[in-house]
Structure 1
Amino acid sequence: MPLAIYVLGLMIFSMTTSEFMVAGIMPSLSEEFGVSVAAIGYLISAYAAGMIIGGPLLTVGLLKVPRKKAFLALSTVFLIGQTLGALAPNYELMMAARIIIGVASSACFGVSIAIALTLVRPEASGRAASIVLGGLMVATAVGLPAAMLFDQYLGWRASFWAVVVLVLVSGTMGLLLIPKSPKEESQTISLRGELAEFKNRHLWAAFATSMLIIGATFAAFSYFSPILTDVAGFSASMVPLLLGVYGVATVIGNTITGRLADRYMMPIMTIGLVVLTGALIMFGLFAEHQVVAVIAVIVIGLVGVSMNPPMVTRVARASNGGSLVNTFHVSVVNFGIVVGSTIGGLTIDHGYGLASPLWVGAVLAVLGLLSLIPYLKKTPAPADSAAVPEKTCA
């Protein structure tokens, strides 16, 4: 793998840490700005809204910009937004900062994946995607706990400044290490051509499966904390450790699926969804048993968001692998997060119990499995040169 791909992964790690860390430092932000914890929760929603809506729109505006320049421009926008958050004197400016970095993050995800796919041969696209998206997994296992430690010992602003430094380092390394593609620099990307990709029903089928996989995972993950404390009976001090174990499981799962995605894309998603469904049902039935709860958390980590590499590979094979398609895929994934967490919350609010989101996740996982059925008998080639750009650098 070219070193530039690891740089892209570092940038995704930095941005995803910024996305997750607000959830870990809610009390400090609430006290700082004199607002409720629920109001701080809206900062998370604002970030997600920026990713879902703003990311594709910004990507459209950058379609004719060479991808390396687009990556650097988006990194700069994110850097400005994160700095604004670190300096924010009030809630309103923090809200503006979260929207800015949400928009920049979504577009940067899409551009980063598109760049990664041009740096390797088609048969290595899944592994390249796993390294880039590995930044997301590592942010769960390392970035979020580190941000919480910064908050506890140095104050919440220190956690924001730490991300500023990471983005600055990642952007500088990207400037030096991401190569220019002569082919890309000379081509003109047509918005009409990019939009034409969305007429492909197979691409929408891939989007649907991705949304359901992530929705199933986050229906459970969003409520791990209250389930583990109030249902399974773990102490509050144990929850960060268990979430760290979950994060490590996602890293391991992502590494495995990344190496296998190019050859076994559909089997990975099929088996993964079967295992995910089983884990969620087991967790829902025996949530009060601590051993079962720990096993379920680990399994969900191994087969949930860890299916990102085959998901990205499938989208790339069903399309041109361009920035707009990849950014829209990021929006679809974030929509899955919203769907899973929202429906899970509604079941709790309607009196079905704290464990009810686990059953929501199981239903979404089953729907994801059903969405794969029309494609199970198809055996696409490991790589399609029309779907994934050829390698353009040594």
Structure 2
Amino acid sequence: MPLAIYVLGLMIFSMTTSEFMVAGIMPSLSAEFGVSIAAIGYLISSYAAGMIIGGPLLTIGLLKVPRKKAFLALSFIFLVGQTLGALAPNYELMMAARVLTGIASSACFGVAIAIALTLVRPERSGRAASIVLGGLMVATAVGLPAAMLFDQYWGWRSSFWAVDVLVLVSGLMALILIPKSTKEESASITIRSELAAFRSRHLWAAFATSMLIIGATFAAFSYFTPILTDLAGFDSQTVPLLLGIYGVATVVGNTITGRLADRHMMTILTTGLIVLTAALVLFGLLARSPVMAVAAVIVIGLSGVTMNPAMVTRVSRVSNSGALVSTFHVSVVNFGIVVGSTIGGMTIDHGFGLVSPLWVGAGLALLGLLSLLPYYNKKSAVATASPSAAETGKSCA
């Protein structure tokens, strides 16, 4: 793997840490700005909204810009937004900073994946994607806990400045290590050529699978803390350790799927969704068992978001692997986070109990399995057509 791909992963780690860390420093931000915890929660929602809506729009504006320059420009925009957050004197300015960083982050994800796929041979695209997206997994296991420690010892602003330093270092390394141009890059790239990929129903099926996988995972993950404390009986001091174990599981799973995604893409998606569904169902049935709860958390970590490399590989194979497709895929994934966590929260609010998000996740995972049918139908149709073509060739001979 070229060193530049690891630099792209470091940038994704930095940006994802920024996305997640607000959830870990909510009390400090609430006290600083004099607003409720719910209002701080809107800072997370605004970041996600920026990623879903603003990212693709910004990517369209940068389509004719060489990918390296686009990546560096987006990194600079993110740096400005992160610095604005670190200096924010009030809630309103912090909200603006979160929207800006969300927009830049989404577009940067897309461009980073597009660059990574052009730096390696097609048969290694899955592994390249796993390294870049590995930054997301490591942010869960390392970035979020580190931000919480910075907040405890040096105040919440120090966690923002720490991310600033990481983004700056990543940007300088990218400036040196990413080639000025790649074999896939062309000055003739137009919005029309990028949009042409969206005509494929197989691409939309791939998007649907990605959204449902992430939705199923985050329907459960978003409510791990109350489920583990109120149902499984763990004390609040143990939960961070369990979430750390979950993070380690995602890193391990991502490493494994990254090495297998190129050759076994659909096997990973199919098997992963079956395992994820089973884990969520068993967790839902046995949520009050501490042993079952820990086992389920680990299995969900191994089989949920760790399907990312296979998801990216599938999208790249049914599209032009352009920056717009990659960025839109990032938006789809974030939409899955919103769908899963929102529906899970609604079931709790409507009196179905803390276990209900687990059943929501299981339902979304089952829908994810159904979303794989277009691929298998296509494969079956090709297999059926091949003998006919062979017979035609024989008769002509």
Match of 1:234 in 2: 234
CA distance in 1, matches of 2:381, 2:106: 29
Q: Does 1:78 align with 2:74?
A: no
The C-alpha deviation readout for 1:294-353, integer Å capped at 9, x for no partner, is 000000000000000000000000000000000000000000000000000000000000
Match of 2:132 in 1: 132
| Structure 1 counterpart SS, 2:261 | helix
Gaps of 5+ in 2: 383-397
Instruction: Name segments (4+ residues, structure 1) moved above 4 Å.
Output: 182-186
CA distance in 2, matches of 1:145, 1:228: 18
Match of 1:271 in 2: 271
Match of 2:176 in 1: 176
1:114-153 pair list within 5 angstroms: 114-153=114-153
CA distance in 2, matches of 1:343, 1:214: 13
Aligned residues: 381
1:250-289 pair list within 5 angstroms: 250-289=250-289
CA distance in 1, matches of 2:219, 2:376: 26
Match of 1:68 in 2: 68
CA distance in 1, matches of 2:210, 2:112: 18
Q: Structure 1's 346 and 70: CA in aligned 2 closer, same or farther, altered over 3 A?
A: same
Match of 2:390 in 1: none
Match of 1:361 in 2: 361
The answer to whether the 8 A contact 2:118-2:182 is kept is no
1:177-256 pair list within 5 angstroms: 177-181=177-181, 183=183, 186-256=186-256
Gaps of 5+ in 1: 382-394
The answer to whether the 8 A contact 2:119-2:182 is kept is no
CA distance in 2, matches of 1:274, 1:215: 15
1:285-300 pair list within 5 angstroms: 285-300=285-300
Q: Structure 1's 368 and 182: CA in aligned 2 closer, same or farther, altered over 3 A?
A: closer
Q: Structure 1's 182 and 293: CA in aligned 2 closer, same or farther, altered over 3 A?
A: closer
Match of 1:373 in 2: 373
If the length of structure 1 is used for normalisation, what is the TM-score? 0.95
* Percent of residue pairs bearing the same amino acid type: 82
The answer to whether the 8 A contact 1:66-1:184 is kept is no
The C-alpha deviation readout for 1:219-239, integer Å capped at 9, x for no partner, is 000000000001111000011
Q: Structure 1's 168 and 379: CA in aligned 2 closer, same or farther, altered over 3 A?
A: farther
Match of 2:391 in 1: none
The higher radius of gyration belongs to: 2
1:376 Cα shift?
Answer: 3.0
The C-alpha deviation readout for 1:345-364, integer Å capped at 9, x for no partner, is 00000000001000000000
Q: Does 1:347 align with 2:347?
A: yes
The answer to whether the 8 A contact 2:126-2:310 is kept is yes
Q: Structure 1's 254 and 182: CA in aligned 2 closer, same or farther, altered over 3 A?
A: closer
CA distance in 1, matches of 2:247, 2:176: 30
Q: Structure 1's 379 and 67: CA in aligned 2 closer, same or farther, altered over 3 A?
A: farther
- Partner AA of 1:138 in structure 2: V
1:375 Cα shift?
Answer: 1.9
Match of 1:391 in 2: none
Match of 1:335 in 2: 335
1:196 Cα shift?
Answer: 1.2
The answer to whether the 8 A contact 2:124-2:262 is kept is yes
The answer to whether the 8 A contact 2:269-2:310 is kept is yes
If the length of structure 2 is used for normalisation, what is the TM-score? 0.95
The answer to whether the 8 A contact 1:273-1:368 is kept is yes
CA distance in 1, matches of 2:381, 2:195: 24
1:64 Cα shift?
Answer: 0.2
* RMSD of equivalent CA atoms: 1.3
